Amino acid sequence: MNEKKDVLQGTLALMVLKTLQALGPLHGYGIARRIEQTSGDLLSLNYGTLYPALLKLEQEGFISSEWGFSDNNRKAKYYKLTRAGHRQLEKETREWQETSAILARFLASGEEC
Amino acid sequence: MFTFFGSLRAAFLRFANLFRQRNLDAQLSDELESHLQLHIEDNLRSGMTPVQARRDALFKLGGLQNTVETIRDRRAIAWLESFFRDLQFTLRQLRRKPAFVLTAVLSFALGIGANATIFAIVSSFVLRPAPVADPNSLLSLNISEQAGCCNHFSGPLFEDVRSGAQSFSGVAGYFDLVPASISGKGEPERIWGQLTTTNYFDIAQTGMILGRGFTAEEDHQPVVVIGNRIWRRRFDSDPNIAGKTVLLSGHPYTIVGVTPPAFHGLDLILDSQFWVPLGNADQIADQVLPDTRSRSSREYHWLSVIARLRPGISRPQAVAELAILAQNSAAAHSQFEKNIGFRASTAGSLPPRDRPTIILFLTAVSIVALLVLCIACANVTNLFLVHASARRQEMAVRISLGASKIRLLRQILTESMLLAIAGGLLGLIISLWATSALSSFRLPVPIPLDLSVSLDLRVLACAFALTVAVGFLFGFAPAWNASRPTVSTALKGEELVLRAGRFFSLRNILVIAQIAMSIILLCATGLFLHSLKNASVMDIGFRSRGVLAMSVDPRLHGYTPERTIQFLDQLRERVAALPGVVSAAYTDVLPLSMGNRSDGFTVEGRSAPSDSPPSVELYMVSSGYFDAMGIPRIAGRDFTNDSATSPRVAVANERFARLFFGEGSALGRRVNGGGVTYEIIGVVGNIKSRTLGEENRPLLFRALSQSVAGDPSMLGYSILAVYSGDPSSLSQAVRSQIHALDPSLAIFNSKTISEQVRDALFLPRLAGILFGLFGILGILLATLGLYGVMSYSVSRRTREIGIRLALGAPANNVRRLVVTHGMTLVLIALLIGYPVAFAAAKVASSFLYGVQPHDLFTFAFVPIFLSAVALLSCYFPARRAARVDPIVALRYE
């Protein structure tokens, strides 16, 4: 079965930050599509949940936004990483890697038993 | 993952966003719109039809409204924003049910008002610190002896402590009650003051608003510190008063200071208005204090003592040192100070002797007030429950439309808080009124008391806490209940068709509690009203109208005893000759003054029956007193020309005669009391001496002419004029007769006998009115509560009843069903409330005069009355139940 996974609580913010780091300024729709594509379409993202997450990141000062125009001249709100956002991304990436390493080790040891 | 500054910044932005709502909403919809367009374009490019493309885009974005809601919540401080919305909504809702709002707010207002008022009393008399600097380090010292607590100090003992105690930075002594007449603006006025050691103000640290306290050299100087009120009233707040001379009982004194307004001595309720160094005692206080020799004996206890703790010394350390001093004193002067001990309490707190009684009384009253509040709360909760249940459908709709339960809870709590706050504000207004009424009330006592009660910050805090507690308590249960309807059934309005509901549901329990509490209140009310009725029809034993009393104290103006008697005789002749005056006589204190001099008495030649001889209240009266007061003379004669030198004679009341001589005649017998032997020359009827509700006490009336010299009255002498006609013009006439004889005399305690009786009735009346109000309020609320619950239960069971009727149940059965339900609740409440009321009555009778604990009338009447009222409040819902039309009920959806 090719069942799509829901986005894990708390990881959406990290994905957004990473996307913005990789692609530079981007509008909400672009971010959503990119996240889906990067996951190899394994992730089911409700686009609606993206906007509260963007707002939260913006309020915390990790991203900033301004209105601009898309490739085909449509007005859209563009988000980009701030300096604090870069730091936060590094920090969260590190934390996430540690967490997943621990979890991987933990699950591996479970198999041996 | 959050950083602290990140969240702080977010919080700030969210707060700021609260005020940019509209613009942000527009931006958000722009953004979402552009998102949709981008998506649709993508979809079109991948080959979808326009309709498909749009639907897919919308679908992937999820519930649009939901997204907007979440973002809104994120954007501003959600609760604050939605609080305003809740507030608006609630106000709109409440406007639609004015009856409910009125009931709730009034209930709360009465409950909170009652509690705030009682707490204001507690705050004023128990919690308020003395008006001095650092009140906690100022102690008031008392002597405790084997016999019990709290005697004054003797002069030498005070010196022992003053010189011996190292824990204190200073110790001061004072004598607490000295009458004097004072000059100044207008007629001379009699006021009360205190004699102090010169360090008194240095130790009390009252802070003068003008001038200073006493210096160490001034002990024998004629200097005086006057109270703020006297300064304002008699000296027009003269800012240059210091250094001016005032006449105190005819002697010139130099004013050196004026106290701040709050200070009227360190005794809680005594209202002292001047202070003079102790060295002036012989001049100013000769009628209340014995001579220097007695004052410096160890036998005579007369000084009150205050002491200031040395910085860094704790109270237990000081108490420990005092205990050692007490042992030393006991060893050195075993004759007088055997088993002596010292007690220290915070100066200006409740007198240690009366403390337990006062606290018990205040606790009882507080409990009653809290009970009323509880009933009010239970009632409003019930009403609210009913309302909330009626709104189940609305709630269900809102939940299914996506409102969160927290949101609903919050909204209902907003409503209850709003009602509670309105009630709290109104309650404060009520207690503002009540405290000012209490403060204006004067006890019928001849010494000055300050009983003013005011709302202070503590009271406001208490009222606020009560309000919040009330709002939360009564809102929470209904809120919880209403916010979890079963959506599917509630939506259809067919809520739990046949379930009659658990018997011990919250609603039923509330009603039971309410009725039980009102039983307790009603019983208390019954007891008080009954005793009040007894008091008002009680035979007080003397004339209750047509006598004018007015006091003077010639001895304060330097009169010798002989001149005093001469003056009184002259005045009596002049007053008796006034038009409208029938006769005139003298006494020292009017009856019903809440207490008078008393002494232990024994019959001459008979050994005392026990250790403590029976206490007898003493009055000083002139000839003609009994006729003037309308006290029946039963045997023997009235006073005639019993002069100061002839053997001391007295008239006893019946109670006295019976107590000491049983069935035998009291005439001609001799009794001892207070070191004097009296021959009894007459017996008169009993009168109420201290309070209206008291048992008759043994009283002894002494000849005024024989007592002025050896044992003068501290409270002056009252001329009693029996009149027919208008007392107000007479009062002026008597006044001018007094001033015709001596214009410098101060006149005080001027009142008619009916005023005196009315004042004496005030306290039982107040208690009766309070309890009556509380009781009526309680039963009203409980009845409303029961009615509400029964109506609600009937409306809930409409379908069930319809089915019953359709299946052929007679209407009677249906009626019985409802009434039985209601009366079961009442019965349970009775079973709970009755024993508690019984126990409470026992407690009440232990500290309130004239309350019989097992008043048959009250305890038989209350349950019957309550059941009748309850039956009535069940009847209407029952009737409605029986009239249910089965067809309508079954169709009812």
**Mean pLDDT, residues B264-272:** 81
Give A112 to chain B, closest Cα distance, Å: 33
Asked if A87 reaches chain B (Cβ–Cβ under 8 Å), the answer is: no
Are the beta carbons of B9 and A30 separated by less than 8 Å?
no
Chain B residues whose CB is inside 8 A of the A76 CB are 31, 34-35, 38
Contact of B148 with B469, CB cutoff 8 Å: no
Per-residue H/E/C for B230-253: HHHHHHCCCCCCCCCEEEECCEEE
Among candidates B708, B656, B659, B705, which has minimal Cα distance to B682? Answer: B656
Amino acid at B808: G
Provide the residue ranges of all domains of chain B, joining segments of one domain with +.
Answer: 4-76, 135-347, 356-537+760-891, 554-745
Name which of A45, A55, A63 to mutate to probe chain B: the one with the most chain B Cβ atoms within 10 A of its Cβ.
A55
Mean pLDDT lowest among A1-10, B134-143, B514-523: A1-10
Q: Is some CB atom of chain A closer than 8 A to the CB atom of B70?
A: yes
User: pLDDT digit string (tens) for B674-728?
Assistant: 778 899 999 999 998 887 767 788 999 999 888 888 777 878 899 999 998 777 7
Does B20 contact chain A (CB < 8 Å)? no
According to DSSP, residue B787 is labeled: H
Question: Which H/E stretch holds residue B148?
Answer: strand B148-151
Which chain A residues have a beta carbon less than 8 Å from that of B71? 51-52, 55
Structural domain boundaries enclosing A67: 5-112
pLDDT in tens, B44-56: 888 888 888 888 8
Q: Is the pLDDT of residue B387 over 80?
A: no
Q: Does the distance separating the beta carbons of A56 and B74 come in below 8 Å?
A: yes
**Region of poorest pLDDT, from B138-142, B223-227, B758-762:** B758-762
Q: How far is A15 from chain B (nearest CA, A)?
A: 14
- The mean pLDDT of B25-52, rounded to a whole number, is 84
Q: Which pLDDT belongs to residue B476?
A: 76
pLDDT higher than threshold 90 for residue B891 = no
The b-or-e profile of B514-551 (16+ CB within 10 A means b, else e) is bbbbbbbbbbbbbbbbbbbeebeeeebbbbbebbbbbb
pLDDT number for residue A113: 46
Nearest to A49 among B28, B37, B62 (CB): B62
Judged by phi (left if over 0) then psi (alpha if -120 to 50, else beta), residue B194 lies in beta
* pLDDT on residue B862: 82
Question: β-pairing, B245-248 with A75-81?
Answer: unpaired
Confidence label for B631 from pLDDT (cuts 50, 70 and 90): very high
- Predicted confidence at residue A5, as pLDDT, reads 59
Give the minimum alpha-carbon distance from A113 to chain B in angstroms, rounded to a whole number: 34
Cα distances from B26 to residues B21, B22, B278, in angstroms, run: 9, 6, 84
C-alpha distances in angstroms, B245 versus B34, B179, B184, B555, B892?
A: 93, 19, 10, 21, 91
Residue B883 has pLDDT above 70, yes or no: yes
Closest CA to B57 of A112, A48, A2: A48
Q: Is residue B425 within a helix (H) or strand (E), and if so which, with residue range?
A: helix B405-439
Question: Which of the four pLDDT bands, split at 50, 70 and 90, describes residue B77?
Answer: low
Phi, psi (deg, nearest 5) at residue B522: -65, -40
pLDDT of residue B2 exceeding 50, the answer is no
* Assigned token pair, A86: 């870069």
- Per the CB < 8 A criterion, the answer to whether A34 and A109 are in contact is no
Phi, psi of B178 (to 5 degrees): -125, 120
The shortest CB-CB distance from A51 to any of B1, B14, B67 is to B67
Across A71-92, average pLDDT: 87
Share of chain B above pLDDT 70, in %: 85
Which pLDDT value is given to residue B309?
92
One-letter amino acid identity for B106?
A: L
User: Which pLDDT score, from 0 to 100, does residue B455 have?
Assistant: 79
pLDDT at B852 over 90: no
Instruction: Return the pLDDT at B535.
Output: 63
Query: Is the predicted pLDDT of residue B277 greater than 90, yes or no?
Result: yes
Mean pLDDT, range B283-299, rounded to an integer: 77
pLDDT of residue B502: 56
State residue B91's pLDDT score.
Answer: 83
Q: Please give the residue that has the higher pLDDT: either A91 or A70.
A: A91
Report the gap between the CA of A27 and the closest CA in chain B (Å).
Answer: 8
Tokens of A98: 């540690």
Do the chains contact at B34 and A77, CB–CB below 8 Å? Answer: yes
CA dist., res. A100 & res. A109, Å (int) = 14
Which amino acid, one-letter code, is at B54?
R
Name the range with the highest mean pLDDT among B34-43, B447-456, B648-657.
Answer: B648-657
Q: Please tell me the predicted confidence (pLDDT) of residue B685.
A: 92
pLDDT tops 50 at residue B893 = no
Minimal Cα distance from A77: which residue of B?
A: B31
Residue B35: its chain A contacts at CB < 8 A? 27-29, 47, 76
DSSP B501-517: --TT-HHHHHHHHHHHH
Give the C-alpha distances (Å, rounded to integers) separating A43 from A28, A36, B62. Answer: 17, 6, 15
DSSP run (H or E) holding B581 = strand B581-587
More confident residue, B185 or A87: A87
Q: How confident is the model at residue B585 (pLDDT cuts 50, 70, 90)?
A: very high
* Mean pLDDT, residues B472-483: 71
pLDDT average, residue stretch B495-517: 66
How many Cα atoms occupy the beta-carbon half-sphere of B369 within 13 Å?
A: 26
CA-to-CA distance for B95 and B99, rounded, in angstroms?
10
**Tens of pLDDT, residues B99-119:** 778 878 888 888 888 888 888
Q: DSSP readout, B31-59?
A: HHHHHHHHHHHHHHHTT--HHHHHHHHHH
Minimal CA separation from A1 to chain B, in Å? 22
**If you count residue pairs, one on A and one on B, with CB atoms under 8 Å apart, how many are there?**
83
Which of B492-496, B567-571, B791-795, B819-823 holds the top average pLDDT? Answer: B567-571
Inter-chain CB proximity B30 and A56 less than 8 Å:
no
For residue A63, give the chain B residue with the closest CA: B6
For residues B581 and B722, the answer to whether their CB atoms sit within 8 Å is yes
Structural domain count, chain A: 1
Alpha carbons B568 and B704: distance in angstroms, whole number: 10
Inform me whether the pLDDT recorded for B771 exceeds 80. no
| Mutate: best of A54, A58, A60, partner B, most B CBs <10 A | A60
pLDDT at B488: 52
Question: Which chain B residue shows the shortest CA-CA distance from A92?
Answer: B1
The whole-number pLDDT of residue B498 equals 37
For A17-73, how does the pLDDT look when each residue is reduced to its tens digit (9 = 90+)?
989 988 888 888 888 888 888 877 777 777 878 888 888 888 888 898 888 888 778
Least confident residue range of A46-50, A81-85, A95-99, B768-772: B768-772
Res B683: pLDDT:
93
* Amino acid at the residue B755: E
pLDDT band at B1 (very low <50, low <70, confident <90, very high): very low
pLDDT above 90 covers a percentage of chain B that reads 13
Mean residue pLDDT of chain B comes to 81
Do B110 and B777 touch, CB atoms closer than 8 A?
A: yes
B229 Cβ contact list (under 8 Å, min separation 6): B261, B264, B273
The pLDDT assigned to B376 comes to: 79
Residues of chain B in contact with residue A88, where contact means CB-CB under 8 angstroms, are 3, 6
Q: Using 50, 70 and 90 to split pLDDT, how confident is the model at B495? A: very low
Predicted structure pTM score:
0.64
Q: Which of B661, B653, B616 is nearest to B635 (CA)?
A: B653
Half-sphere exposure of B748 (CA within 13 A, CB side): 25
Q: How confident is the model at residue B14 (pLDDT cuts 50, 70, 90)?
A: low
Least confident window among B442-451, B462-471, B801-810: B442-451
Averaged over B218-242, what is the pLDDT?
A: 90
CATH of the domain at A28: 1.10.10.10
Can you tell me the distance from the alpha carbon of B598 to that of B613, in angstroms, rounded to the nearest whole number? 11
Q: Show Cβ contacts of residue B56 under 8 Å, excluding neighbours closer than 6 positions.
A: B39, B43, B48
What is the rounded distance in angstroms from the CA atom of residue B696 to the CA atom of residue B682? 18
